[in-house]
Amino acid sequence: MRDRKEIDFMGIRKIAAVISAVLAVISVISLAVNSLQFGLDFTAGTSVRLEYQETVVLDEVNETLAANGYQDAVVVSFGSDREIRVILPVDDETLIEDQASEAVLVGETIATLLSDANDNEVLLLGSDYVSAKVGEELAEQGGMGMLVALGIIMVYIAVRFQFKFSVGAVIALAHDVLITLGIFSLFGIEFNLNTLAAMLAIIGYSLNDTIVVSDRIRENFRRMRKGTPIEMVNTSLNQTLSRTLITSFTTLLVLFSVLLIGGETTQGFAVALIIGVVIGTYSSIYIASNIILFMKVTREDLMVPVREDAELDGLP
């Protein structure tokens, strides 16, 4: 801390709370209205397998499909340089019993389309309806996993710190994930398996940040003899500020280089993580501490029970 003057973070805590609440509400509304743009990992689709007589260039296939209204088609090479698989999303409206015949129809359309596009003759090997890759199972597991993880974190923090800190950390986590999802929904960014992994990474990152701040708050509550809770939280935030900023800066450095160089496939989660890190940094300053203050944390909450040597370090 080169500058002695402390920034009064908690002075605008009410404003911060209002901003967060507004963002959360917007996120919930957007998620309810727009839902998420699920990628093919999560939705059902039609898989069309095609064989060319000569080597095929995937980009050309992509262009041909996009030019004919199949912008969402995913083209992958399949087994050899002459065989490809085109995956198309299916709209939910299609009845289950119609999906098979629908798939055949789509397959024929695509094959004709690509045959007409150039001299390279196309053979339709087959088209099938593909169920959601991760679908319900992952959604179930993911939801359950989140809940169990949140539960365990709450218990751990309650034991290591105090129950009020548990609430702060968990609300900060929920805040970060909700608003990141909200931004995804609002701007129609595709949500796929990679972005799901990014969501999990955000949880890890945000938690890390919150714990570091909480740790300092705990320490200062134990050591400082004077000052109101708000002052002590402010001091703690100021003491950890340079670390918070440096870590966020290095992480963003990493993420931006992944975004700019890492290729198309990694772009999704780079974007998700960048949003998450920015929100995570904000929430570790304003949300977790705000909740702790709101729950009226006191020095007694954090005192080491009957330990005379507590002033040594204040840490067990």
Residues 138-177 that bind another protein (CB under 8 A): 138, 141-142, 144-145, 148-149, 152-153, 156-157, 160, 169
Chain positions 97 to 116 lying near another protein, rule: CB under 8 A, are: 100
Q: Which is nearer to another protein, 19 or 58 (CB)?
A: 58
- The distance of closest approach from Cβ of residue 33 to another protein in the complex, given in angstroms and rounded to an integer, is 28
Q: Which is nearer to another protein, 33 or 261 (CB)?
A: 261
- The distance of closest approach from Cβ of residue 79 to another protein in the complex, given in angstroms and rounded to an integer, is 3
CB 285, CB 166: distance < 8 Å:
no
Tokens describing residue 237 = 């935030």
- The distance of closest approach from Cβ of residue 264 to another protein in the complex, given in angstroms and rounded to an integer, is 8
Q: Which is nearer to another protein, 14 or 256 (CB)?
A: 256
Distance CA 221, CA 295 (A): 15
> What mask of x and - would describe binding to another protein in positions 31 to 50, judged by CB under 8 A?
----------------x---
Q: Pick the stretch among 27-35, 80-88, 230-238, 298-306 that binds another protein (CB under 8 A).
A: 80-88
CB 102, CB 45: distance < 8 Å:
no
Distance CA 40, CA 34 (A): 17
Q: Which is nearer to another protein, 30 or 213 (CB)?
A: 213
Quick one: which of 2, 5, 225, 226 contacts another protein (CB under 8 A)? 2
Chain positions 177 to 236 lying near another protein, rule: CB under 8 A, are: 193-194, 196-198, 200-201, 203-205, 207-208, 211-212, 215-216
Cβ neighbours of 67 (radius 10 Å): 11
48, β-bridge pairs: 86, 127
Chain positions 271 to 290 lying near another protein, rule: CB under 8 A, are: 273
Instruction: Decide if residue 298 touches another protein (CB under 8 A).
Output: no
Q: Which is nearer to another protein, 80 or 228 (CB)?
A: 80
Q: Which residue type occupies 91?
A: D
Q: Which is nearer to another protein, 9 or 42 (CB)?
A: 42
Q: Which is nearer to another protein, 30 or 210 (CB)?
A: 210
